[in-house]
Structure 1
Amino acid sequence: MLGGNDCIFGVCFLCQVKLQKHNTDVQGLRYKNGLHCASRILQTEGVKGLYRGATSSFLGMAFESSLMFGIYSQAKLFLRGTLPDDGPRPEIIVPSAMFGGAIISFVLCPTELVKCRMQIQGTDSLVPNFRRYKSPLDCAVQTVKNEGVTGIFRGGSATLLRECAGNAVFFTVYEYLRYHIHSRLEDSKLKDGYLVDMGIGVFTGGLGGIACWSAVLPFDVAKTIIQTSSDKATERNPFKVLSSIHKRAGLKGCYAGLGPTIVRAFPANAAAIVAWEFSMKMLGIKRD
């Protein structure tokens, strides 16, 4: 769904994970920002290093987007029932978004675990060579072999919290912005047209994405720490992990990777919304 922007998003994903992992560790590397991280990767691993773990990430994103929008739309229709279509209703938007987020967290958790573990094992990491994975498939197989089936779902609680809260914020911001912008254009000549709809989709989807990640990035940091830990007995409670990070790195540590995340959030979510709305128009599905 993100199309030709995959290369940019892949780099942002990698820098986000590296910053979250290394900038919250007691020992190890420290990156000044996303640009410093990307520069360091280019110097030590070349261009190929910027796309480490991208395969599992892109596959997960593509399936996640289509599944999320489908579940959200159907859940919203079910909850609305015979209620009048008189604008956004938080009592419908929030549970629909949270339900969709809960479902897709089970899809995202394994793909993101593989992505994160692949991305932290570059030449500038502290992961010893004998413990590195040859491919995403090898990572998944070795994880199940060493940690059991439950190992591939490590970080599930943090993923669940991030997806439920994040999607609730995203769709609330998106729906309210979209409704009020269209209301302002009701009597305008700009009311209809693909370019106008696309512009509104870009604006509302992009701001929704920024609001979403600004709200739930700490859960994503906790998830990365949990999923990339080499200790099987590592703490898996995201709140306890965040408390530990806050003690040693402060609020800044809880928001490690914010720069690359925000850079990716606007165009990625804008593209997703535009594609979703365009698909519904092509299929003749009426938007409420």
Structure 2
Amino acid sequence: MTTILETKDLTFKYPDGTEALKGINFKLEEGTMVALLGHNGAGKSTFFLHFNGINEATSGSVEIEGKPLKYDKKSLLEARQKIGIVFQNPDDQLFAPTVLEDVAFGPMNMGLPEDEVRQRALDALEKVGMSHVANKAPHHLSGGQKKRVAIAGILAMKPKVMVLDEPTSGLDPNGASSIMQLLYDLNAEGMTIMISTHDVDLVPLYSDNLHVIVGGQIIKSGTCKDIFSDPEVMEEADLRLPWIGQLFEKFDKEDGIVFEEGYPLTVGDAHDALLKRITK
């Protein structure tokens, strides 16, 4: 696999001296869908803001396609065309009078011809299912619609990587599932996706490539099974098993039903585990 984004010994201190990131070494492989799991205050958002130069590292480096990120205007524009970030609160990104103008903002700043800017914006809105609100004001949209429009604004720039900070925050279960299915589909089409979340029930459904961050450090990387079967990591990160895993843990501890391959973490895994036991 090709490494599309890498951080080396990345540290970041706020002006008051608070050390938010502590020497993070991280690689993002092209075409993957990766989750960064950690509680509020763990450093997820701060880490993401280094990927395209919104934050500048105190020490260490960020590399995009093997080249160190520079912080001059031209280099930052190039970085932001390749690495698009969707903020946790879509209101931080939506500011134009209409949805179409908002989605067109990025391509317009790339200096593209007007016809191409408009077409990119229309295509992106169609991709996220928001063509019907093109002429509406963003502040009239629901939370889920705003998330989709914010994603469209990044899609219109045709980045190689989309990074989303808590993409399901503030959404009801159906809205959260809808957004995650959209991201899953984009990844299936070839886009590299990275999300941050503290929702342990969500992660196993969409990504088996997981990184756990605590106190500005990535303490473990691996599959969901690797992470959720490691009691030390679970305790340090103050995590719990996804609810399906908790159910099967209860079967194990209270009913003596042992699952040698580990606790299932999704409905599909649970179905397979039970079917295997029934047909033995």
Task: Name the TM-score, length of structure 2 as normaliser.
Answer: 0.23
Which protein is richer in helix relative to its size?
1
Which protein is richer in strand relative to its size?
2
Higher relative contact order (CA 8 A, sep 6+): 1
Task: Name the TM-score, length of structure 1 as normaliser.
Answer: 0.23
